[in-house]
Structures are given as structure tokens and as C-alpha cells.
Chains A and B, each alone.
Chain A
Amino acid sequence: MSETIDKVSVVISKGSLEGIYPGLIMANGARAEGIEANLFFTFFGLDAIHKKRQGHIKVATVGNPGMHLSSLIGVLPGMSAMATHMMGRKMNKLDIPPIPEFVEMIADTGCGMYACLASVDLFGFAKEDFIDQLDGIITVGDFYARAAGGEIIFT
């Protein structure tokens, strides 16, 4: 193994549970391997770092073939909450932390945490809406500058 990855920048663009966890796991796993990492939250992915929303991220039960559940059933009230609850219990058993704890832990590993300026403006958010560990609200140009010299993973 002569080739190594020294730096990754992970973009999280979706606001569902299954849209957020993979990117968090990739960034955290990179830091655990000693790889420099950045997280860039854009569009609905911003919910992962939104103080009031990050604790209420749900599994998508509609339009999600991976759930093996008809969208007609998935649309029923409470289905998403139930699926989220069931998955949360499984994750807890496997010692996978809830999103707020996981995000805080990843920030503690020294991973860069950034929000997308265009999305923040679009949703009418402000800096105060986000977790204290946020390193900045940046433009896509700033993101590329910070990602320079590494891999970019879009999720």
C-alpha cells in the first residue's frame, strides 16, 4: 500500500437520517485514520448542524425503495417517526451515537465544519442557528479552496 489518502472533504446535502449518517461516518472514519477531513453542509444537510433540528432527523419512508415498504404505507402519519425510532434503537445497540452527539464528537476530532452560504441564505438561517463548533459559513469557492489537494465526497 504505497498510495494513501491524506485529506477528504465530505459534502452532506440531504436532511434525512440515511442522508446524513453516511457522510458523518466517512468524515469521522477519516479522522480516526489520521486523515485530514472537512464537512460541508448544504441544502437540507444543514439540519445536521442546526441546533433545533439536529435532534429530530427522520428516516424517509416515502420514495425510499430501500425501506422495502410501499410508499402508500410510508405516507401514513407516524410511519417515519416509527421507522426512525426502530432504527435509533438498533443504532444504540451498535453504539452508533445519535446525530447531535456524533456531530459534536466529529468536531472534537478536529474535522473542519462548514455551512454553505447559499443554502443558509436560502433557508433564512443565521450563524446563531447552528452548533457552536461550526467553523464558518462559506461560499462554494471557499469550499474548493479548503478541499484543495484532497478527495471530495458528495453525499
Chain B
Amino acid sequence: MTVITLAGIDVELNDEGFLADPQRWNEEIAQEIARKEGIDPLTDQHWQVIRFMRSEYFDKGTGPTVRILGKTSGISIKELYQLFPKGPAKIAAKIAGIPKPRGCI
């Protein structure tokens, strides 16, 4: 575990570099993680995915994979990759402050 300062708040990151505690998250933190990932600014569509990731995580205990995102978030797989070129589920989860979704598909 490492501790870094994001948007003026000390937060712990897990071994994969994702926020260790999804509760210690706010929109400013999201914007700062997004900037580090090369996404600036976050558009309404980005936020739609990020909020969806969080609600799925708190509902089901795990974030959705890309396939599920494409089926249920209201944003197509093509658009998801345009929004998050470095991996929609992975990067959106990182920005959303939840653990990296598990799954091979």
C-alpha cells in the first residue's frame, strides 16, 4: 500500500494503483486521477461511465467488465474505447475509485 495526496486528501492505493477505499473518493480526486491517466477534461460521457461503475460496484461488489459496460451503461464498446483508450473498464474503475474489475472477457 502506498499513500498519495490527491486533491489535497491523503489516500491509500492498493498494489495495482487503485484507490484502496472507494469511500474516500470525490469528484476532485476523480479529476486528478483522470489527468494522470491522460484524460482531461472529463466530459459528461466520462462521468456517465464513472458514476455507472460506482453504482455497479456498490450494488454488486465488483465493477463491470468492458462487455457488461457496453451492454448496460448506455454507451457502446466503440465509444467506451474512445473515451478510455487505455482500457474502459480498467481506467474508468481507477478514476471511479473502485478496485479493478476481474474477468477475462
Contact = CB atoms under 8 A, between A and B. Distances in A.
A34 B66 CA distance: 12
Given A25-B104, A31-B81, A97-B105, A105 B67 contact: yes
Contacts of A29: 104-105
A73 to B, nearest CB: 31
B14 interface: no
A40 to B, nearest CB: 20
Given A31-B87, A32-B87, A95 B81 contact: no
Contacts, number: 42
B105 A33 contact: no
Interface in B38-83: 65-68, 70, 76-78, 81
Contacts of B65: 32
Contacts of A31: 66, 81, 87
Interface of B: 65-68, 70, 76-78, 81, 85-91, 104-105
Which 8 A-B pairs have CB atoms at the shortest separation, nearest pair first?
A: A34-B86, A34-B87, A108-B77, A108-B78, A32-B87, A32-B66, A110-B81, A33-B87
19 contacts: A25-B104, A25-B105, A29-B104, A29-B105, A31-B66, A32-B65, A32-B66, A32-B87, A32-B90, A33-B87, A34-B90, A95-B105, A97-B105, A108-B77, A108-B78, A109-B66, A109-B77, A109-B81, A110-B81
